[in-house]
Amino acid sequence: MWDDLIDDYMRVLTDERGSSPHTIRNYGDDLRQFAAWMKENGISDPAGVTHLHVRGYLADLQTKEYAKRSVSRKLSALRSFFRHLVREGRLEASPLQFIRTPKQDKRLPKFLYVDEMEELLRLPDASNPLGLRDCAILETLYASGMRVSELVGLDVSRVDLSLGVALVFGKGSKERYVPIGEHAVHALQRYLQDSRPRLDAGKAGDALFLNARGTRLTDRGVRRVVDRYVDQLSETRNISPHVLRHSFATHMLEAGADLRTVQELLGHVNLSTTQIYTHMTRDHLQTIYNRAHPRA
């Protein structure tokens, strides 16, 4: 019962809502983990789940010392799943309707300073096809602020180097144009001319970024690319590809870009999501002030 309903919900996320592969993968794992816990406690049908079961599950997660962020994501997956069952008429009400999401610790996103970013961008070896590709990947992520899922979904036909823009598919299958800047345009030109033809094994179609096997690069592949160069930096560690997006937003605001422009470029639906970067820039300015002013 659980497996069939979860599989049906995964199809809804994929076909109707256009959720990202990352979201679908995480939600699937979270729902199957909850289902396994419920089966261990004798509940073989979602209709038998009560708010007390959910509280027991949350208590178990706390005992296992799951991070608040992970617990919140698991709750989000459960809320969405049970709302779907209510809409489908399989349940009268969700057992999570009176369950509160635990308060999150305020944690600002990590970002690189401009000099660190420039050092990272200089690291790929542009004398070989993969190095040229990696240079284009890093430059494009930083120049555009696009998500990794948007980057790996890019097709050659969706990038106009003469105008310096790319058409990306964002969350919820929403399209938006993003500028990619002079340095990224140059890196992409070199990649398309000298690297992609050598990587292409005739099975990638119109995919922009290819792996060593000549097929479309994946999210995980981009993570490995970023990890490889981050490990070469002397002091910076634990940086994900998303940090390039955070760095893009932070540097734009520090240079005087207005919040709504950055919101549009990032593809955020709500301005409140973008506002976290104003806190980051304030902290950055405070740090500089404390270090530079003789009477700070």
Neighbours of 274 (CB within 10 A): 20
51 annotated active-site: no
Q: How far apart are CA 144 and CA 160, in angstroms?
A: 13
Known active-site residue 268: yes
For CA atoms 122, 126, 128, 129, the dihedral sign is positive
Q: Is 57 a catalytic residue?
A: no
Q: Would residue 171 show up in a list of annotated catalytic residues for this protein?
A: yes
CA dihedral (56, 59, 60, 61) positive or negative: positive
Catalytic pick from 32, 158, 171, 223? 171
Given the residues 73, 84, 133, 147, the one annotated as active site: 147
Q: How many CB atoms lie within 10 A of CB 263?
A: 19
151, HSE (Cβ side, Cα atoms, 13 Å) = 32
> Is 242 tagged catalytic?
yes
CB 108 within 8 A of CB 279: yes
Task: Select which of 133, 245, 246, 251 is catalytic.
Answer: 245
β-strand partners of 216: 210
Place of tokens 């699937």: 28
245 annotated active-site: yes
Q: Which residues are catalytic?
A: 147, 171, 242, 245, 268, 277
